[in-house]
Amino acid sequence: QVKLQQSGAELVKPGASVKLSCKTSGYTFSTSYMSWFKQIPGQSIEWIGMIYAGDGGTGYNQKFKGKATLTVDTSSSTAYMDLSSLTTEDSAVYFCAREVGDGYDYFDYWGQGVMVTVSS
Protein backbone atom coordinates (compact mmCIF):
# COMPACT_ATOMS: atom_id res chain seq x y z
CA GLN A 1 0.00 0.00 0.00
CA VAL A 2 1.06 3.58 -0.57
CA LYS A 3 2.78 5.21 2.40
CA LEU A 4 4.39 8.58 2.94
CA GLN A 5 6.37 8.72 6.17
CA GLN A 6 7.60 12.11 7.30
CA SER A 7 10.46 12.87 9.67
CA GLY A 8 9.89 13.91 13.26
CA ALA A 9 9.07 17.23 14.85
CA GLU A 10 11.71 19.96 14.72
CA LEU A 11 12.56 22.75 17.13
CA VAL A 12 14.88 25.22 15.45
CA LYS A 13 16.28 28.64 16.23
CA PRO A 14 15.46 31.75 14.21
CA GLY A 15 17.78 32.17 11.27
CA ALA A 16 18.55 28.48 11.05
CA SER A 17 17.56 26.02 8.32
CA VAL A 18 15.83 22.66 8.52
CA LYS A 19 15.51 19.76 6.10
CA LEU A 20 12.32 17.73 6.19
CA SER A 21 11.99 14.31 4.64
CA CYS A 22 9.13 12.29 3.19
CA LYS A 23 9.98 8.64 2.61
CA THR A 24 7.63 6.85 0.27
CA SER A 25 6.76 3.25 -0.44
CA GLY A 26 4.16 1.23 -2.29
CA TYR A 27 4.33 2.99 -5.65
CA THR A 28 6.76 4.04 -8.37
CA PHE A 29 8.31 7.14 -6.86
CA SER A 30 10.67 7.86 -9.75
CA THR A 31 7.87 8.84 -12.15
CA SER A 32 5.66 10.67 -9.69
CA TYR A 33 4.95 14.18 -8.54
CA MET A 34 5.19 15.28 -4.92
CA SER A 35 3.94 18.48 -3.37
CA TRP A 36 4.54 20.11 -0.02
CA PHE A 37 2.11 22.11 2.06
CA LYS A 38 2.14 24.40 5.08
CA GLN A 39 -0.59 24.63 7.69
CA ILE A 40 -0.43 26.92 10.67
CA PRO A 41 -2.57 25.31 13.41
CA GLY A 42 -6.12 26.59 13.22
CA GLN A 43 -5.65 27.93 9.69
CA SER A 44 -6.12 26.71 6.14
CA ILE A 45 -3.55 24.94 4.00
CA GLU A 46 -1.04 26.54 1.64
CA TRP A 47 0.64 24.87 -1.30
CA ILE A 48 4.41 25.43 -1.20
CA GLY A 49 5.50 23.73 -4.40
CA MET A 50 5.96 20.52 -6.32
CA ILE A 51 8.72 18.36 -7.65
CA TYR A 52 8.72 15.74 -10.38
CA ALA A 53 10.89 12.85 -9.22
CA GLY A 54 11.66 11.84 -12.80
CA ASP A 55 13.93 14.79 -13.49
CA GLY A 56 13.85 16.92 -10.34
CA GLY A 57 11.87 19.61 -12.08
CA THR A 58 10.14 21.95 -9.64
CA GLY A 59 7.36 24.50 -9.44
CA TYR A 60 6.96 26.86 -6.51
CA ASN A 61 4.35 29.11 -5.04
CA GLN A 62 5.90 32.56 -5.47
CA LYS A 63 5.28 33.14 -1.76
CA PHE A 64 7.74 30.39 -0.87
CA LYS A 65 10.46 31.03 -3.44
CA GLY A 66 13.71 31.51 -1.59
CA LYS A 67 12.21 29.95 1.52
CA ALA A 68 11.69 26.35 0.39
CA THR A 69 13.85 24.13 -1.80
CA LEU A 70 12.51 20.79 -2.96
CA THR A 71 14.69 17.84 -3.87
CA VAL A 72 14.35 14.08 -4.24
CA ASP A 73 16.52 11.00 -3.84
CA THR A 74 15.10 8.39 -6.17
CA SER A 75 17.45 5.71 -4.81
CA SER A 76 15.62 5.88 -1.48
CA SER A 77 12.24 7.05 -2.83
CA THR A 78 12.44 10.06 -0.55
CA ALA A 79 11.43 13.66 -1.08
CA TYR A 80 13.01 16.52 0.84
CA MET A 81 12.17 20.10 1.61
CA ASP A 82 14.76 22.56 2.86
CA LEU A 83 13.42 25.58 4.71
CA SER A 84 15.91 28.40 5.14
CA SER A 85 16.30 31.57 7.21
CA LEU A 86 13.56 30.45 9.53
CA THR A 87 11.43 32.93 11.45
CA THR A 88 8.56 32.45 13.85
CA GLU A 89 6.21 32.81 10.87
CA ASP A 90 7.55 29.50 9.57
CA SER A 91 6.28 27.66 12.65
CA ALA A 92 3.67 25.32 11.22
CA VAL A 93 2.82 21.76 10.29
CA TYR A 94 4.29 20.73 6.96
CA PHE A 95 2.82 17.93 4.84
CA CYS A 96 4.01 16.10 1.78
CA ALA A 97 1.44 14.60 -0.57
CA ARG A 98 1.53 12.50 -3.71
CA GLU A 99 -0.01 14.05 -6.78
CA VAL A 100 -2.06 11.72 -8.93
CA GLY A 101 -1.35 11.62 -12.62
CA ASP A 102 1.03 13.71 -14.66
CA GLY A 103 0.86 17.03 -12.90
CA TYR A 104 -1.91 19.57 -12.25
CA ASP A 105 -3.83 16.90 -10.40
CA TYR A 106 -5.26 16.15 -7.00
CA PHE A 107 -3.49 14.56 -4.03
CA ASP A 108 -4.52 11.12 -2.90
CA TYR A 109 -1.97 10.18 -0.23
CA TRP A 110 -0.50 12.45 2.40
CA GLY A 111 2.25 12.18 4.95
CA GLN A 112 1.32 12.46 8.59
CA GLY A 113 2.74 15.95 8.83
CA VAL A 114 5.65 17.35 10.79
CA MET A 115 5.50 20.22 13.26
CA VAL A 116 8.27 22.76 12.87
CA THR A 117 8.62 25.18 15.78
CA VAL A 118 10.90 28.18 15.36
CA SER A 119 11.88 29.57 18.72
CA SER A 120 14.94 30.90 20.46
Partner 1 sequence: DIVMTQSPFSLAVSEGEMVTINCKSSQSPLSSGNQKNYLAWYQQKPGQSPKLLIYYASTRRSGVPDRFIGSGSGTDFTLTISDVQAEDLADYYCLQHYSYPYTFGAGTKLELK
- Binding residues for partner 1, rule: CB under 8 A, are 35, 43-47, 59, 61-63, 95, 97, 99-100, 104-108, 110-113
CB of 94 to partner 1, least distance (A): 11
For partner 1, give the closer residue by CB, 43 or 75: 43
The residues pairing with 93 across neighbouring beta strands, listed in sequence order, are 39, 115
One-letter amino acid at 104 equals Y
DSSP 8-state class, residue 26: S
CB of 75 to partner 1, least distance (A): 26
Neighbours of 65 (CB within 10 A): 11
Q: Distance (Å, rounded) from C-alpha 53 to C-alpha 118?
A: 29
For partner 1, give the closer residue by CB, 39 or 74: 39
